[in-house]
Structure formats: structure tokens, C-alpha cells
Amino acid sequence: MKIVADQYIPGLPAAFADVAELTLLDPAAIDRASLHDADALLVRTVTRVDAALLAGTPVRFVGTATSGCDHVDRDYLDAHDIGFADVAGCNARPVAEYVLSALGVLSEQRGCRLADLSVAIIGCGHVGGQLRAFLQALGVTCLCNDPPLAEQAGTAAGYCDLATALTADVISLHVPLTDEGPHATRHLLTSDRLADLRDGAIVINTARGEVIDERALKAQLHERRLTAAIDVWQNEPAIDIGLAADAAIATPHIAGYSLDAKLRASNHLRQAFAEHFGQAPGAAQPPPPALQTLSLDADDLDELVRLAVLTSYDVRADAVALQRLAAIHGERSAYFAGLRQDYALRREFSSLRLHLRGGARDHAATLRQLGFAVEAN
Ligand SMILES: NC(=O)c1ccc[n+]([C@@H]2O[C@H](COP(=O)([O-])OP(=O)(O)OC[C@H]3O[C@@H](n4cnc5c(N)ncnc54)[C@H](O)[C@@H]3O)[C@@H](O)[C@H]2O)c1
Ligand SMILES: O=C(O)[C@H](O)[C@H](O)COP(=O)(O)O
């Protein structure tokens, strides 16, 4: 079996060594000619998978090491009986951790407690569901909007309509980018909806740039009426640097980039590949070990959470790297792509061991709910 894969998907050689001959390519080199004898193709969001890429090739299986699938023409794959797998869920934790890190930074800047904020979670699948679990553990009021899930679950499930959700202090987007159907999400946050958000509302976008009318958001940020943390952009890698300049936090589409998530994703693709071709499932690569221990003795939950979250992952470090984009003349797209390709994969909360002392021990259960390894003796 021959597989062509994006060379920037970590963990593939170990996951696929026993089942296939793997050709790792720069995504710019993944074209129809490169697939002339490939049985399978493994991609990231930067490779458009459609008839233009696959027609006339022997590819029988496509895996994307991503949750979002808007770069894949699923209708083409179905019509040509080409198997498909995504890795939805594998990177839910790092994205929810990114949002918590952004909330820790922005609430501190405003001098308010996390539990004083209400947060709209738009899309309550893998990422939104993980974020809801984090926020509810911290006593934050969540307004959850997910019409497809609400239709399946019935009104008792606690979802609200979009207009109600958009009254929150924070709007966090976790929907797929879709163009069709009753719940299409392209420009879900229209100019009118953005104008109706409360003054000072915080918009967090880790979904896809096209889910927001970026031009309207840019105007509202420029007037300082809204605040934003933005990880995903229209026209990546050629992003709007004016929008990035006006965002409180702007990062290069790395919310899901933890080492733990990348290895989960490669393991998941390995299992889906084996299932598709009728092979025995492979042994999963073990998760990487814990890295760091942090001793904490603060009594206050907000202070403890900020210390733990920002020690594990401070989103400002990634924002600093993107700020340099404005100073670059020419090659901005290459700089943005490079920040992603060369990203030093971070570790998840679970890799940080918290040693709680004094009053901090009272909050052991809450910190465990955020995923930290906690010792409280
Ligand atoms: N920035 C990153 O690194 C990163 C990482 C992971 C995912 N993502 C993006 O986030 C999206 C969500 O990821 P996920 O793993 O939670 O996907 P998911 O499929 O598990 O969840 C998406 C949820 O959105 C809901 N939904 C669909 N249309 C909606 C609408 N109009 N309004 C409200 N809810 C709607 C669905 O019912 C589903 O529950 C992905 O599609 C991807 O685009 C980005
Ligand atoms: O949809 C996803 O899973 C994320 O957007 C993902 O983290 C994007 O990463 P990429 O495939 O572009 O490296």
C-alpha cells in the first residue's frame, strides 16, 4: 500500500510504519501527479481535496488530520466510492484550553472574575462540549446554541436560540464552516448580529474565519466597541493584517496544536485506514508523559485557575509571533504558514502536575475537571 501524506502531520511515520509505504510531501507538492500510484492520501486543512486533485488517480482513501472538513469535497469522495476519515474530537481539548487561556488573559485585563462572565458557546460538538464542561466546572454561565443538536435532543437539553446566546458577554464560535442547509454557518455572525452584541462583548473565533463577516468585525474592533481573540482567518495564509492588529489576541490557526492532539489524530487515522482496507488495527502510540510540576497555595479559585492555565499555556506567546506579521514586507503568507508548520507543539493541561497546598486543596476537584493532574495531600 502507498500513502502520500502532508509532511507536517506529526506522528505519521510511527503510526503507519507497519502497514504502508509513506511518502511525506510539502503540501505545496501534493498535486495530481504526486498521487499517480497512491492508494491513500493524508492531508491537513491547507490541501483542497476535490476532483481537480483526485480525478484519474488510484486514491481509495482520504484522511484529514483535522476536525473541520471544509477543504474536502465530500460529495466527490462519496460519488467515487473513496473512503474518508476526519479526526473530530482529537483536538477538542487544546482548542478548549486555548479559549480558557484567552478568557484568563482578557478577564484579568478587565479586572473581572471568570465566573462573572456569561459565555455563548455557538456549536456544542466536540470542542464546544469540552469548553462547556470546563466553564461549568468554574461556575461560568454558558448559553449554548446548537440547532442541529437541539433538534435531535429536544428542548429539554438546555440549548437556546442564537439571538439569546448573542446576549452573552463572550461569544465563542465552534461550528463547522458550511454553505448549505438550514444551519449554514458562512457569515453566521453578520454585520447586523455583530452590531447587536452588547458593548464590550468579547468574540472568540477558533472555528473558521468565514463564519464571521470579517470586514464588519474589523470595523467594530477599530471603534473599540468589541474585543476579539482570533485564531482563524478568511483567506489563510493571506490574512487581513488590519484585523489582526485590532484584535486583542491574534494567533496563526494553532488553537488545536498540542502534541497530545496531533498524536491522537495520527493514531485515529491509522485505525480508520486499517478499517477501510480490512487490516488489523495497529498499536496506538502512547501519549507523551507529564512534563512539569507546579506548587500552588492560593486560596482563590480564580487566581489558582489563571496560574495553572497560563503556566500550562499562555496564548499571548502565540499572539506575539503573529504581531510581527505587520512588520514584514512581502512574503506575509509564507510567514503565516511558517508559524504553523514550525510550531513548537504545546502540551495539554493533563501534562502539568499541580501540587496543591493550604487553601488551594479545596479546589482540587475543580482543577481535576479542567484536566490537570492534581496532588492535594
Ligand atoms: N482553530 C483550530 O485549531 C480548530 C481545531 C479544531 C476545530 N476547529 C474548527 O471548529 C469546528 C468545530 O469543531 P468540533 O470538533 O467541535 O466539530 P463538531 O462537528 O464536533 O461540532 C460542531 C458542532 O456545531 C454544530 N452546528 C452546526 N451548524 C451549526 C449552527 N448553524 N449553529 C450552531 N451550531 C451548529 C453541530 O451540530 C455540532 O454539534 C471545526 O469544524 C473546525 O472548523 C478549529
Ligand atoms: O479543523 C481543525 O482540526 C483545525 O482547524 C486544525 O487544527 C487545522 O490544522 P491544519 O490541518 O491546518 O494543520
Ligand 1 site, CB within 6 A: 67-68, 88, 91-92, 95, 122-128, 145-149, 174-177, 183, 185, 188, 206-208, 231-232, 253, 255-256
Residue 303 cell numbers, joined: 487566581
Q: What is the DSSP letter of 207?
A: S
Return the ligand number nearest the Cα of 315. Answer: 1
Phi, psi (5° rounding) for residue 292?
-135, 150
244 CA to centre of ligand 2 in angstroms: 19
Atom of ligand 1 nearest to the CA of 188: 31
Distance from C-alpha of 365 to C-alpha of 34, rounded to nearest angstrom: 51
Write out residues in the chain with pLDDT < 50, as ranges.
Answer: none
208 CA to centre of ligand 2 in angstroms: 10
CA angle in degrees (0–180, nearest 5) for 182-185-188? 110
45 CA to centre of ligand 1 in angstroms: 14
Distance from C-alpha of 74 to C-alpha of 51, rounded to nearest angstrom: 10
Give the per-residue pLDDT at 330: 80
Give the per-residue pLDDT at 154: 72
Listed residue (320, 310, 370) closest to 346, CA to CA? 310
Give the per-residue pLDDT at 231: 98
Beta strands in the chain (DSSP E): 2-6, 21-25, 40-43, 61-64, 83-85, 118-122, 141-145, 170-173, 202-205, 227-230, 249-250, 292-296, 352-356, 373-375
Burial class from Cβ neighbours inside 10 Å (0-12, 13-18, 19+) for residue 376 reads middle
Give the per-residue pLDDT at 246: 97
Cis amide linkage into residue 237, ω under 30° from 0? yes
Give the per-residue pLDDT at 155: 62
What lies within 8 Å, CB to CB, of 106 at 6+ separation is 202, 227, 229, 248, 249
Q: Which residues are annotated as a binding site?
A: 45, 66, 146, 231, 256-257
pTM, to two decimals: 0.97
Give the per-residue pLDDT at 17: 83
Q: List the catalytic residues.
A: 208, 236, 253
268 in contact with ligand 2, CB cutoff 6 A: no
Q: Are 263 and 324 within 8 A, CB to CB? A: no
342 CA to centre of ligand 2 in angstroms: 14
Q: pLDDT tens, 192-231?
A: 999 999 999 999 999 999 999 999 999 999 999 999 999 9
Q: pLDDT tens, 231-251?
A: 999 999 999 999 999 999 999
Give the per-residue pLDDT at 156: 61
